[in-house]
A = this chain, B = another copy of it.
Amino acid sequence: MDPVTPVPSSLTTDLAAVVGADHVLTDAADVAPYATDWRGAYAGTPLAVVRPGSTDEVSAVVRLAHEAGVAIVPQGGNTGMCGGATPSGDGSQVVLSLGRMRKIRDVDPVSSTMTVDAGVVLAEVQQAAASVDRLFPLSLAAEGSCTVGGNIATNAGGTAVLRYGMMRSLVLGLEVVLPDGRVWDGLRSLRKDNTGYDLTQLFIGAEGTLGIVTGAVLTLHPATPARATSWVALPSVAAAASLLPLLRDHAAERLTTWELVSRPALDLVVSQGVPDPLACDAPWFGLIELAGPAGATVGDDLESALGAAVEAGLVLDAAIAGSPAQRDGLWALRERISEAQESLGPTIKHDVSVPITSLDDLVSRLAPALEQALPGIRPIVYGHVGDGNLHYNLSRPESLEPDAFWARAAELSAIVHDCTVELDGSISAEHGLGSSKAAAASAYKSEVEVSLMRSVKDALDPRGLMNPGKVLPLG
């Protein structure tokens, strides 16, 4: 742990003058929800938690911290997976919560845009879009509590990336408070603006290390009330990869979801009471969804695609949802996995991606390598096969105590990550780096790439006060 940095005693007083005393938290009980992440995997000790209520207040807070030389950790819904919003343990950092900035500033169905405060919860954005017959397609497990600012800071993914891209593809403009407190107003709603470096994209995925996103212009998509959903049994991961172009040939962009589920992952959710629609003795399964505007022939398209897939030997058996309730049942097979895995004890999580054509190689190499390292280890594998992204998560052998399993985490993760990088993959496909993967990512990257990233960081945050140690390791 670093030694405690001496802080001007007047800082919390000055912060209270900006945001009001009620919004500067320093009591241990008050700061606790902000000091630890939702999973309890990362814990810190903030100097204070500040909750500004406007962009001007964020600017004033950052300016005060900058003058005092105090580091800031921005925090949205605190639902991240990698400790990106957790402060250090030495009591030297201020947590800046965007939780009070929850205004939807504008919704424009003709331009298909929405302008929001960073603290708006993702589900509220989805609902506001739906209320004007539009779709905001970002969808992920934490959508009821994660914020748009967090989605932007981490470039969030989810189950509709295949069709709509990650958060990066859904943002037209940003408002950002810079490390010295200046405000960059880049809140443009233009579809085309070719007047220089794309600063918007630079701040997206930067995890608050270059500045604090306070507002955003989001792009909306046409609503897709017509949906067709299928659960399929697959002979192999290679078949799953080959199925992607076949599905695209039949449905093109209307292919919205193509998720992979391993047999052990399916067995786990079925054991917890979710009905298995196929009862097929296959090693892999998948969830396919097509969606389109009212009247779109997505049901016919799905049936013809599945017919061709069975004929080509890529699909062994398939169930098609005949009602919204059946659709929910199929989705539960995919969505309940993460929760179900908790029943096996602690989970060592991975979020890797490889070129789609290398997915089969990845799972073929990892299973024996992990079994050799820790006999009886239980990989629970699922993910977004259309994006080449697997959550290759590990549960302990039945006979091993949780603590003893957890002690092997670094070694086991290295096996997963080494193999991923050998296949030209990424060790963080959609969760970002936070503090937990920053060092590993820098170690796997080339020296040139790390030096480029450090150049950008040093240029925009020369004093290193914005979320230190996230994305790039300290030192």
Is A472 interfacial (CB-CB < 8 Å)? Answer: yes
Q: Tell whether, in the assembled complex, residue B195 and residue A198 are in contact, meaning their CB atoms are under 8 Å apart.
A: no
Selected interface stretch from A140-148, A312-320, A451-459: A451-459
**A245 nearest CB across to chain B (Å):** 6
**A125 nearest CB across to chain B (Å):** 19
In the complex, chain B residues whose CB is within 8 Å of the CB of A195: 426-428, 433, 437, 441, 445
> Which A222-260 residues have C-beta < 8 A from chain B?
222-224, 241-242, 244-245, 248-254
Contact with B along A414-443 (1 / 0, CB 8 A): 000000000011111111110001000100
**A213 nearest CB across to chain B (Å):** 14
**A360 nearest CB across to chain B (Å):** 11
**A113 and B244 alpha carbons, distance in the complex (Å):** 13
**A246 nearest CB across to chain B (Å):** 10
Q: Tell whether, in the assembled complex, residue A188 and residue B426 are in contact, meaning their CB atoms are under 8 Å apart.
A: yes
Is A178 interfacial (CB-CB < 8 Å)? Answer: yes
Selected interface stretch from A201-209, A274-282, A361-369, A396-404: A201-209
In the complex, chain B residues whose CB is within 8 Å of the CB of A472: 196
Identify which of B157, B387, B448, B456 contacts A182 (C-beta below 8 A). B448
In the complex, chain B residues whose CB is within 8 Å of the CB of A449: 184, 186, 196, 199
**A105 nearest CB across to chain B (Å):** 14
In the complex, chain B residues whose CB is within 8 Å of the CB of A326: none
Q: Which of A190, A192, A297, A437 has the most CB of B within 10 A?
A: A192
With A192-B387, A252-B222, A293-B251 given, is the CB distance from A110 to B433 under 8 Å?
no
Q: Tell whether, in the assembled complex, residue B426 and residue A193 are in contact, meaning their CB atoms are under 8 Å apart.
A: yes
> Which A259-285 residues have C-beta < 8 A from chain B?
none
**A133 and B192 alpha carbons, distance in the complex (Å):** 29
Selected interface stretch from A12-20, A96-104, A116-124, A161-169: A161-169
**A174 and B267 alpha carbons, distance in the complex (Å):** 41
Is A9 interfacial (CB-CB < 8 Å)? Answer: no
Least CB separation from A133: chain B residue: B249
With A109-B245, A191-B387, A455-B460 given, is the CB distance from A196 to B441 under 8 Å?
yes
With A112-B245, A448-B182 given, is the CB distance from A194 to B430 under 8 Å?
yes
Q: Assign chain A's interface to a size class.
A: 35 or more
**A399 nearest CB across to chain B (Å):** 35
**A97 and B316 alpha carbons, distance in the complex (Å):** 53
Q: Tell whether, in the assembled complex, residue B110 and residue A241 are in contact, meaning their CB atoms are under 8 Å apart.
A: yes
Q: Tell whether, in the assembled complex, residue A189 and residue B426 are in contact, meaning their CB atoms are under 8 Å apart.
A: no
Is A185 interfacial (CB-CB < 8 Å)? Answer: yes
Selected interface stretch from A87-95, A328-336, A350-358: A350-358
**A242 nearest CB across to chain B (Å):** 7
Q: Tell whether, in the assembled complex, residue B252 and residue A426 are in contact, meaning their CB atoms are under 8 Å apart.
A: no
**A223 and B455 alpha carbons, distance in the complex (Å):** 40
Q: Tell whether, in the assembled complex, residue B194 and residue A424 are in contact, meaning their CB atoms are under 8 Å apart.
A: no
**A303 nearest CB across to chain B (Å):** 13
Identify which of B166, B202, B431 contacts A197 (C-beta below 8 A). B202
Q: Tell whether, in the assembled complex, residue B109 and residue A189 are in contact, meaning their CB atoms are under 8 Å apart.
A: no
Is A111 interfacial (CB-CB < 8 Å)? Answer: yes
Q: Which of A111, A389, A432 has the most CB of B within 10 A?
A: A111
Q: Tell whether, in the assembled complex, residue B182 and residue A252 are in contact, meaning their CB atoms are under 8 Å apart.
A: no
In the complex, chain B residues whose CB is within 8 Å of the CB of A206: 197
Is A108 interfacial (CB-CB < 8 Å)? Answer: yes
**A459 and B202 alpha carbons, distance in the complex (Å):** 14
Sample of 20 A–B contacts (CB below 8 Å)? A110-B241, A110-B244, A112-B248, A157-B192, A161-B192, A168-B198, A184-B449, A189-B355, A190-B388, A191-B353, A192-B430, A193-B426, A194-B426, A194-B428, A196-B449, A196-B453, A197-B210, A197-B453, A197-B456, A251-B293
